[in-house]
């Protein structure tokens, strides 16, 4: 069968391999990214941190502690030091049911190594993490994208979506290259008083997101990505999804790992999801 050609048409449902297929392999390792295509993922999700010597690496946390056998802040370590670390064994210990010997001793990849391995055969959904801690991160990212010819003449032709919780970081990217599609990440957390703490972008509670708020994001971004649950309770609803869809925006909730949640969100009209189990999302989408 012809392979699905993911575009940024909001009718095209996108399966985003969150940190690779991180349910089955150690997050942000090449082993995890290697699984995305076979599991029918449309995008490899890459979180970015930057080393002391200015190398962009694939890692979720600002510290290496959780996902390697080392300790300390990425910004205080050189790439050489990062490369000494074992980024796989923790997974075997934490998830014995998915453990594999080959995960032992896996290295933390640089973004450049990721591009060298998959080139134009993959699409990348890259998050600028903690951009305030890493000045110059956006310029380095765009330089690498250009070097590997991953940005096209328009949003549809781009092999990359750039995402961030930081509006400032996205605007910086937009200033550098207005053809790269951007997704504004949002985080909704009940504040204990019945309202919602706003950390980026939207100011009202998610169910009441206003057209003005969405329009402001629509000025620079092709879509939004949001936590869909908080403390096991839904924080978005169908009306929320449809308000964004009415503006032709992409709507990509994170991180959706359960089939029943996938089904509910598909029914509400989301245009893709971040998931640790790309294969499960692909088959759930196709079964509906
Ligand atoms: O980027 C979407 C989602 O991954 C945001 O949350 O913490 O997993 O990067 P986080
Ligand atoms: Ca992320």
Each domain of the chain, given as residue ranges in start order, spans 14-287
Record: fold of 14-287: TIM Barrel (3.20.20)
CA 239–ligand 2 middle distance (angstroms): 25
Specify the residue with its C-alpha closest to ligand 1, atom 6. Answer: 254
* CA 120 and chain centroid, separation: 18
CA 1–ligand 2 middle distance (angstroms): 31
Predicted confidence (pLDDT) per residue in 173-208, tens digit: 999 999 999 999 998 886 655 555 555 555 667 777
Measured between alpha carbons, how far apart are the two ends of the chain, in Å? Answer: 19
What value does the mean pLDDT take over residues 236-247? 94
Pocket test for ligand 1, best of 185, 188, 256 (most atoms within 8 A of CB): 185
> Is residue 8 predicted with pLDDT exceeding 90?
no
Q: Is 47 in the pocket of ligand 1 (CB under 6 A)?
A: yes
Catalytic: 174?
no
Q: Which of 18, 28, 174, 252 is catalytic?
A: 18
Pocket test for ligand 1, best of 44, 49, 60, 275 (most atoms within 8 A of CB): 60
| Minimum mean pLDDT range among 5-9, 102-106, 172-176, 274-278 | 5-9
ipTM tops the 0.90 cut: yes
Q: Is 223 in the pocket of ligand 1 (CB under 6 A)?
A: no
What value does the mean pLDDT take over residues 235-242? 93
Catalytic: 18?
yes
Rounded to an integer, what distance in angstroms lies between the CA atom of residue 60 and that of residue 66? 9
Q: Which of 28, 60, 174, 252 is catalytic?
A: 60
Minimum-distance ligand to the CA of 22? 1
What confidence score (pLDDT) does residue 51 get? 98
CA 1–ligand 1 middle distance (angstroms): 32
Environment class of 271 (CB within 10 Å of its CB; exposed 0-12, middle 13-18, buried 19+): buried
Average pLDDT across the chain, whole number = 93
Running DSSP on this structure, what letter comes out for residue 73?
B
Give the residue among 164, 181, 160 at the shortest CA–CA distance from 129.
164
The residue among 207 and 268 whose pLDDT is bigger is: 268
Q: Is 274 in the pocket of ligand 1 (CB under 6 A)?
A: yes
Sort strands 223-227 and 250-254 into parallel, antiparallel or unpaired: parallel
**What is the percent of the chain with per-residue pLDDT over 90, rounded to a whole number?**
84
Specify the residue with its C-alpha closest to ligand 1, atom 1. Answer: 127
What confidence score (pLDDT) does residue 241 get? 95
């Amino acid at each position: 069968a012809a392979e699905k050609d993911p575009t940024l048409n909001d009718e095209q449902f996108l399966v985003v391999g969150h940190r690779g297929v991180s349910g089955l392999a150690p997050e942000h390792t090449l082993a995890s990214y290697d699984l995305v295509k076979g599991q029918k993922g449309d995008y490899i999700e890459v979180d970015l941190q930057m080393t002391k010597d200015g190398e962009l690496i694939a890692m979720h946390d600002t510290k290496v502690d959780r996902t390697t056998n080392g300790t300390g802040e990425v910004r205080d370590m050189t790439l050489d030091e990062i490369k000494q670390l074992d980024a796989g064994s923790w997974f075997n210990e934490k998830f014995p049911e998915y453990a594999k010997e080959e995960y032992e001793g896996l290295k933390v990849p640089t973004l450049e190594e990721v591009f060298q391995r998959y080139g134009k055969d993959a699409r990348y959904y890259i998050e600028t993490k903690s951009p305030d801690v890493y000045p110059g991160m956006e310029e380095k990212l765009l330089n690498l994208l250009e070097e590997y010819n991953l940005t096209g003449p328009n949003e549809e032709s781009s092999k990359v979506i750039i995402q961030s919780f930081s509006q400032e970081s996205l605007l910086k990217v937009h200033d550098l290259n207005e053809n790269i599609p951007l997704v504004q990440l949002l985080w909704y957390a009940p504040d204990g008083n019945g309202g919602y703490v706003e950390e980026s972008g939207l100011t009202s509670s998610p169910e009441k997101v206003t057209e003005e708020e969405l329009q402001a994001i629509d000025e620079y971004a092709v879509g939004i990505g949001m936590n869909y649950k908080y403390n096991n309770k839904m924080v978005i609803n169908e009306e929320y999804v449809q308000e964004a869809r009415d503006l032709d925006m992409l709507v990509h909730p994170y991180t959706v790992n359960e089939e029943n949640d996938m089904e509910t969100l598909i029914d509400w009209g989301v245009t893709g999801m971040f998931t640790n189990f790309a294969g499960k999302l692909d088959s759930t989408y196709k079964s509906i």
